[in-house]
Each structure stands twice: as structure tokens, then as C-alpha cells.
Amino acid sequence: MEKSYRKNHLPDTIIKVGDVSIGGDNLIFIAGPCSVENEEQILEVAIKIKEYGAHILRGGAFKPRTSPYDFQGHGANGVKLLELAKKETNLPIISEITAIKHLDLFENVDILQIGARNMQNFELLKEVGSLNKPVLLKRGFSNTLKEFLLSAEYILSQGNDNVILCERGIRTFEDWTRNTMDISAIPILKELSHLPIIADPSHATGKGKLVKPMSLASVAAGCHGLMIEVHNNPKEALSDKDQAITPNELKSIIKKSKKIKKILY
Ligand code: PEP
Ligand code: MN
């Protein structure tokens, strides 16, 4: 029996992370850099995004980069810096886990992120399914919604009910954008599933300028939250610099998203 399906579990799942509730009528904002780069960078971003109303701090430490010659993240040290930012700001933290052997390093990370490239890494899914920790599962860039939900099942079927779905764009023939953001996935998943749905307009578009309109479109489509890449100096970001926005731009997205949510829902 599919546990992610609404018909088997009518009410929305609401996931508590510290003081934050994800799902239901809540609209939450996850923000932070693609990669944790150094102490100064992560602290500065964390303080700013908190001031502007974000609820959760993101930051990659183990980066699954397309090229092995690109910056791979600071690994265990990156997680430690993220923990430091959590201590300073009290913001819960999310970071991507790419291998089972790293699990111990993520003990103080509030939400485990499974990236698009690992959406069908079934051994990893089963492993995080055996934990009692929220997991944000990203849609693979060549995966259907059915496959996406079946991957969520791998986590749920092991007993971990705290699964958050994340639409981050899929690969199409269009190459103006990094991926094509499947906004329709939001209302479809909301109808099919009781799990919270977060939209990631940063990876979906790959272009900083498109992050705001696609954020607002996602809120209008009914997402439960946004995950946005924010950097204090986007031009200098060590990964995904073209899609990073500044804390000030995030501020405006949060303000407008809340307005849209209020008008429409
Ligand atoms: C990320 O969020 O840092 C990331 C690598 O995203 P995705 O897995 O969607 O490419
Ligand atoms: Mn990124």
C-alpha cells in the first residue's frame, strides 16, 4: 500500500523541525548558499536570511558536482560550519547527504537532503528511511512524478514518515534554463499526496533573474515552501553562482510570496 498517497492518509502531513512546521497551511522559506564556503560566508548569510524571515538554513558540504574537477564542498568541515551557524542563529539546518557512510556526520543536521542525482539511490533511501529524522527528497531530473513518489515510498516504507518532496526542475529539450521547472508538479503532487511540497526555483532555472518569478508562480501553484540559493556575493560563489541571489532579493521574494499566499489561499 502506498503510504505517500493521499487516499491512504487523507490529512496533510505536517513535519515539525524545531519551531517550524512544514506542510498544511504553512508557507516556509529555506535559504542559504549552494555550498558552505567558510565561516564568514555562512554566518553572514545565516544572519541575513533570518532577519528577512527565512525559517531554515541550507548549505551544501558534500557536493555532487557534474565535473570531478569542480569544487566538491568542504565535507565534514562544511557540516561543522553549518552547525556553527545554527548555534549562532537558532535556525534549523538542512544539508545534502550523498553516502550512507557519512550518516554520523549529519547527527546535528535537522533535515537530510537527498539530491536529484540520488533520488533513485535505493540503498541510501532505505537507510534514511530507518531514521527518525526529516528527509527532503528532490525529484530526479529525468524522473516522472510516479517514480518520484515511489522513491518517497522507499523512505516511508522503512518507518520514517517525515518526508518532504522537492520539485527542482526536469531536463527537457529547452536549454535556455538549466532545467525546466515543472510547476504543474506542485498541484498534482498536492492532489496525489499528503506530503509537503517545496519548490526550488534556483536549480530549476539556473538563473538568478528567474528565481523571483518562479518562486511567486510556485507559491501561486500551492507549494508549502521554497528552497532558494542565497549568497552574500553571488558573483564569487564557488558553486552555482549564476543562480544565486542576494539576501536583499530574498527579502523581496519572501514579502511578495506571503502576499500571494494571503490573496490566493
Ligand atoms: C542542491 O540543492 O544543492 C543540489 C545539488 O540540488 P539538486 O540535487 O536538485 O541538483
Ligand atoms: Mn546548488
pLDDT digit of tens for each residue in the chain (265 aa)?
Answer: 899 999 998 899 999 999 999 999 999 999 999 999 999 999 999 999 999 999 999 999 999 999 999 999 999 999 999 999 999 999 999 999 999 999 999 999 999 999 999 999 999 999 999 999 999 999 999 999 999 999 999 999 999 999 999 999 999 999 999 999 999 999 999 999 999 999 999 999 999 999 999 999 999 999 999 999 999 999 999 999 999 999 999 999 999 999 999 999 9
Contact between 52 and 169 under an 8 Å Cβ cutoff? The reply is: no
Pairing of strands 163-167, 225-229: unpaired
pLDDT score recorded for residue 233: 98
Overall pTM surpassing 0.85 (yes/no): yes
CA-nearest residue for atom 10, ligand 1, is 116
Unique residue bearing C-alpha cell 525546466? 180
63 CA to middle of ligand 2, Å?
8
CA-nearest residue for atom 4, ligand 1, is 115
pLDDT score recorded for residue 19: 95
Bridge partners, residue 16, by sequence: 21
pLDDT score recorded for residue 216: 98
Rounded-to-integer distance, Cα 14 and Cα 47, Å: 26
Query: Which residues' Cβ are closer than 6 Å to ligand 1?
Result: 34, 60, 64, 96, 115-117, 138, 168, 203
CA-nearest residue for atom 5, ligand 1, is 115
Pairing of strands 163-167, 197-199: parallel
162 CA to middle of ligand 2, Å?
23
Best mutation site among 203, 240, 241 for ligand 1 pocket (most ligand atoms within 8 Å of CB): 203
Rounded-to-integer distance, Cα 105 and Cα 101, Å: 9
96 CA to middle of ligand 1, Å?
8
Rounded-to-integer distance, Cα 129 and Cα 12, Å: 19
Ligand closest to Cα of 59 equals 1
CA-nearest residue for atom 3, ligand 1, is 34
203 CA to middle of ligand 2, Å?
6
How many CB atoms are closer than 10 A to CB 40? 10
Q: Under 8 Å CB-to-CB from 175, ≥6 apart: which residues?
A: none
pLDDT score recorded for residue 113: 98
Contact between 214 and 38 under an 8 Å Cβ cutoff? The reply is: no
Ligand closest to Cα of 118 equals 1
pLDDT score recorded for residue 105: 98
Q: Cell for 69?
A: 574537477
Ligand closest to Cα of 178 equals 1
Unique residue bearing C-alpha cell 558534500? 62
pLDDT score recorded for residue 58: 98
Q: Cell for 220?
A: 501561486
145 CA to middle of ligand 2, Å?
22
